[in-house]
Amino acid sequence: MMPAVNSDTEETRYGAFLDARLMARFFGYAKPHRRWLAFAMILPPIGALSQLAQPLVIQMAVDRHLVTGQLDGFFGLLAALAGLGVVQFVTGYLQSTVNAMLGQRVISDLRQELFAHLLTLDAAFYARNPSGALTNRVANDAEAISQMVSAGLINLVGDVLLLISVAVGMALLSPRLSLAVLILMPAVIFVAFRVTQRMRVIQRHGTLLQARMTARLTEETEGRDVVRLFHQQQNAMVQFGRLNRAHRENADKSNFLEAFQFSFVEAASTMVVAAIFWYGGLLMAEQTLTIGVLTAFIDAVRRLFFPIRDLAGKFTTMQSAMSALERVFTLLDTPPAIADPTPAQAILPPPHPKGEIHFQGVTFGYGQETVLSGIELHIAPGERIAVVGPTGAGKSTLIKLLNRTCEPQQGSVRIDGIPVNRIPLAPLRRMAGVARQETFLFSGTIAENIGLFDPAISLERIEQAAEETGAMGFIRALPAGLQTRLTERGNNLSAGQRQLLGMTRIFAHNPPILVLDEATSSVDAVSERLIQTALERLMRGRTALIIAHRLSTIRHADRIVVLSHGRIVESGTHQQLLEQQGLFATLHALQFREEPEAVT
């Protein structure tokens, strides 16, 4: 069971330095790269042994040759010392390179799985979780985990081995000096790790502030038109400035502690060396210590402080990675609300679906609120059905039930007699092309936005679809035609052009069912005529479910269904419903009274 996450703060209730469950799960991502992992694990012991040998070589060179003046073999020891330095350099270089590569490979696999999982989650999940926070998971949390591999975990093993090897070397050189260091070191280690614990709290708060700042930036960018229309740029700057200032102040605290920790360890190493010089001088006066041993011991003490300083930094890196792992795995463990049927239950639709739709006793609600109740609606292949009703009547919910964005609590939805929950999601959603009020376009070329990178849709098919909808008229006028690159959300096109591309996209994918959710409501009159012409071509030979708010657009529907409070209250042709003098006639009269130009 994963630790709980506080959704308000995005903080985890994680406290241990290393969590065995998280690490065991994470190492599953390292299995495909186990050869590189094994190579990376071989390097730290080699580096540690090379550093263990260097003080011992220095001691022999001083005592046997420099003190006595006997140079026979001295240059051999110098060559050995140089060789050990080369070994240290090569192992250090390889360790850094392999660790960085391994970290990027492992995190690339994890990031890919995380992105793929996000694509399976339902609309309700995205309503609960800000897009900026999710972006933070894929980008910043993944990078924190990568740092654990490239600069933390394996190097942590190397630092521990180096600490042990240097300690062993010191004990071999002089047990009495080693005992003195053992007495002095606990105070240094205590201060270093106390500072690290404080840094952990500050850095975790910094991660939270960064996530909030990213979420705020995403919201302000996506809502830029609202900010400008209401002239709220100054207030937006103030709100973002507060988060930015808090993040900066938090970073200043972290940088101060990091600088203090580094400087403290450096100063402490100098003071320990001074103490060793003093105590070593006393031992030399007693003739129980040689100058070679003292020189080598000082070198070993210097080496001892490197892993101590690094271990404190690794502690912070590992803590950040543990928190990031917990958040990432919690997200990965979020089950999709809508899942594919099991292989035993799955039924593939026929190669050429007819497009028959049947809502049978469908009831659906959000929480305690019932949106649809006992819906019975049969749509024959090729029939055009319009669904109208007051706001909140449940019109758009029918679309969500048809393509399984939502699941009914009671009843079933069938396409060509097959329950939609028995059809795998990929073929199910290819069966219904949805045109909404706003067509979402991605950054990329016009051709890529029409084909959506589907290899089955050729450029010729894209061109044919654009000709069918009339979009080719404005596409030819663009500098690069179909290869013209669109800016974010297609903002270098007009609303009408974006809607025409949406129609073209549906044409290119050729679904048997067409769902229109007031596809012309956000465009001008000229664009609306072009889009209506494209829609007429789209609806030929297809079953059409038209969600309508503007009643003037559904005069020629085969049948109009009127929803009210989640129930079907009227059904018939446009003329029949007007003659019944019911809810449709009332809505019609109110709308045309408010929009007299529609009568014309």
CATH number at residue 445: 3.40.50.300
86 and 226 within one domain: yes
Per-residue pLDDT, averaged over 373-400, amounts to 88
**Residues near 418 by Cβ (< 8 Å), separated by ≥ 6?**
347, 349
Helix (H, G, I), strand (E, B) or coil at 548: coil
Q: How many domains in the chain?
A: 3
Residue 543, H or E segment:
strand 543-547
Both 445 and 499 in one domain: the answer is yes
Query: Would residue 346 count as lying in a domain?
Result: no
Rounded CA-CA distance 174/186 in Å is: 19
Q: What is the pLDDT of residue 383?
A: 92
Pair 271, 363 in one domain: no
Say which residue the tokens 């663009």 belong to: 478
Residue 275 lies in a domain: yes
Question: Domain for residue 403, yes or no?
Answer: yes
What are 402-424's pLDDT values in tens digits?
A: 988 888 989 999 999 999 999 99
Query: CA Rg, the chain, in Å?
Result: 35
pLDDT of 55 strictly over 50: yes
Residue with tokens 């959603």: 429
Rounded to whole angstroms, how far apart are CA atoms 21 and 29?
A: 14
Q: Which of 277, 297, 332 delimits the end of a domain?
A: 332
Residue 11 lies in a domain: no
Domain that holds residue 246: 20-332
The verdict on 444 and 581 lying in the same domain is: no
**Whether residue 506 is found in the same domain as residue 517:** no
Same structural domain, 319 and 275 = yes
pLDDT for 145 equals 83
- CA proximity to 462, closest of 446, 477, 478, 441: 446
CATH of the domain at 258: 1.20.1560.10
Distance CA 34, CA 296 (A): 38
Q: Are 236 and 244 in contact (CB under 8 A)?
A: no
The larger pLDDT score, comparing residue 262 to residue 475, is at 475
Beta-strand pair 543-547/384-388: parallel
Q: Is residue 278 part of a domain?
A: yes
Question: What is each CA distance from 85 to 22, 166, 297, in whole angstroms?
Answer: 37, 15, 18
Is pTM beyond 0.85? Reply is: no
Give the domain-ending residue among 462, 483, 510: 510
The larger pLDDT score, comparing residue 226 to residue 517, is at 517
Both tokens assigned to 437? 């009020």
Mean pLDDT value across residues 234-254:
84
**Are 242 and 110 in a shared domain?**
yes
Is the separation of the CB atoms in 252 and 245 below 8 Å?
Answer: no
Q: If pLDDT is split at 50, 70 and 90, which confidence band does 488 have? A: confident
Mean pLDDT, rounded, for 497-526: 79
> Is it the case that residue 358 has pLDDT exceeding 90?
yes
C-alpha distance from residue 217 to each of 133, 224, 225, 599 (Å): 11, 10, 14, 45
User: Hey, which bits of 380-430 come out as E strands?
Assistant: 384-388, 410-415, 418-419
The confidence score (pLDDT) of residue 379 equals 93
Task: Indicate if 506 and 465 belong to the same structural domain.
Answer: yes
Query: Any idea what the Cα angle at residue 282 is, between residues 281 and 287, rounded to 5°?
Result: 90
Asked whether residue 201 falls in the same domain as residue 299, the answer is: yes
The CA-CA-CA angle for residues 471, 518, 564, to 5°, reads: 165
Q: How far apart are CA 312 and CA 192, in angstroms?
A: 6
d(CA 305, CA 303): 5
- Domain assignment of residue 37, yes or no: yes
Instruction: Judge if 134 and 268 occupy the same domain.
Output: yes
> What is the distance, to the nearest Å, from the Cα of residue 31 to the centroid of all Cα atoms in its chain?
22
Residues 6+ apart with CB under 8 A from 125: 334, 337
Rounded to 10°, the helix 175-222/233-285 angle is: 170
**Residue finishing a domain among 332, 364, 387:** 332
Q: What are phi and psi of 103, to 5 degrees?
A: -60, -45
Does residue 1 lie in a domain region?
no
Say whether both 552 and 423 belong to one domain: yes
Whether residues 497 and 574 share a domain: the answer is no
Pairwise pLDDT comparison (321 vs 225), residue with the higher score: 321
Q: Is 199 within the bounds of a domain?
A: yes
Answer yes or no: are the C-beta atoms of 379 and 356 closer than 8 Å. Answer: yes
